[in-house]
Amino acid sequence: MPRRAAEIVLSDEEVTELTMWSRSSALDHRYVLRARVILLWREGRTLKETSEMTGLARSACNQWRRRFEHARIAGLREAPRPGRPKTVSPATRASVIETARSTPPKGCTRWNQRSIAKVCGVSQSTVHMVLAQADLKPHKTDYWCGKPSDPEFQAKMLDIVGLYLNPPENALVLCVDEKTHIQALDRSQPVLPMEPGRNRRLTATYTRHGTVSLMAAFSVHSGNVTARTIERNTSETFLAFLKSLYRKHPGREMHIIVDNLATHKTPAVRDWVSRRRRLTLHYTPTYASWLNQVEIWFNILTRDVLRDGVWTSKKQLVSQLMAYVKAYSKDRAKPFKWTYTGNPCQA
């Protein structure tokens, strides 16, 4: 019969802290296991049982018992390692930081840790440590929007957001845009389906069967989508789409949001719209087409249909696009909910 170890008595505070360690997903796993060793010891488990339940060797379980008995919870933490800690001279640190912030040579647009290490004559681990301490990430790029060039930016933005949040009574708000040059790509070999441990696979070689463009109108407050495919994106096709939307919703006041594409502003379009009492075009500010909610729907379309799609003909692509639009409006249509996560004091 296995010999039971001497009992260990824990204070309430120690039990609480060790329990938190043993259940933590943020701590290094080694600390989780060490806490479990002590808690199992408190339950009266033998070294053999503790080893089987934690996956640690018996000698390791015994080591952490002895260290806890000697120094309590502090004994479960890593002891200082012998030897002088690694240091980086101020000159080396400045060289790494200056290099990381400079323009790379030989036509490159960004540095990596290996190239910085080569230029500065230090190890890649040293570069990693210096950049981490300085909070520099040369491998990443953030994008920001500068001061709007459109002098009417605020007025146009407030106009569109007002239509989203508080539209006129019984008015229909539509976001209209085109997704152009959708390629009907056919792979040179059959698609290999997904299997356990293996992703769906497509050949890198393909055949093009032409392109098609999709013109879509997203209804802001219902989520319904009206769309048609077009061969070329011209002012004539845009005007024809507007007329079809106008006929589809007789008697309703219509507000249509579009971007600043030239085909949306031709004299023919402006003249036709000006003679329609119940239709108003609203143009997004310059460089702010992201305000148009149909762009969100186009991203959904790309994710669900276009990415990694395979079509043997342009006709098949058109058929799939229209089938998706119909199914989306029937089963998934709902308004988008926008959430602002910025700081209003800095907006």
Mean pLDDT of 101-120: 90
- Do 106 and 191 have their domain in common? no
DSSP 77: S
What is the reported pLDDT for 117?
92
Q: What pLDDT, on a 0 to 100 scale, did the predictor assign at position 31?
A: 87
Q: What is the 3-state secondary structure (H, E, C) of 215-272?
A: EEEEECCCCCEEEEEECCCCHHHHHHHHHHHHHHCCCCCEEEEECCCHHHCCHHHHHH
- 72 and 94 part of one domain: no
Please check whether residues 55 and 165 belong to one and the same domain.
Answer: no
Q: ∠ at Cα 140 (139, 143), nearest 5°?
A: 150
Identity at 289, one-letter amino acid code? S
% of the chain beyond a pLDDT of 90: 53
Task: Give mean pLDDT, residues 149-157.
Answer: 88
Q: Give the span between the Cα atoms of 132 and 96, in whole angstroms.
A: 11
Range with the poorest average pLDDT among 77-81, 258-262, 284-288, 303-307: 77-81
Residue 208 lies in a domain: yes
Smallest CA-to-CA distance from 74 within 21, 124, 118, 136 is with 21
Q: Look over the chain and give the mean of its residue pLDDT values, rounded to a whole number.
A: 89
Specify whether 175 is located in the same domain as 60. no
The model's pTM: 0.65
Please report whether residue 98 resides in a domain.
yes
Regarding whether 230 and 120 lie in a shared domain, the answer is: no
| pLDDT of amino acid 11 | 86
List, as one string, the DSSP characters of 7-23. Answer: P----HHHHHHHHHHHH
Domain with 64, as residue range(s), is 12-76
pLDDT, one tens digit per residue, over 178-202 is 999 999 999 888 888 888 888 888 8
Same domain flag for 212 and 96: no
Q: Are 325 and 216 in contact (CB under 8 A)?
A: yes
Helices within the chain (DSSP H only)? 12-23, 29-42, 47-54, 58-71, 90-100, 113-120, 124-134, 153-165, 235-248, 267-274, 294-301, 314-327
**Confidence class for position 344, pLDDT limits 50, 70, 90:** low
Domain count for the chain, please give it.
Answer: 3
User: Per the domain annotation, does 139 fall within a domain?
Assistant: no
Do 47 and 195 sit in the same domain of this protein? no
126 and 158 assigned to the same domain: no
52 and 109 housed in the same domain: no
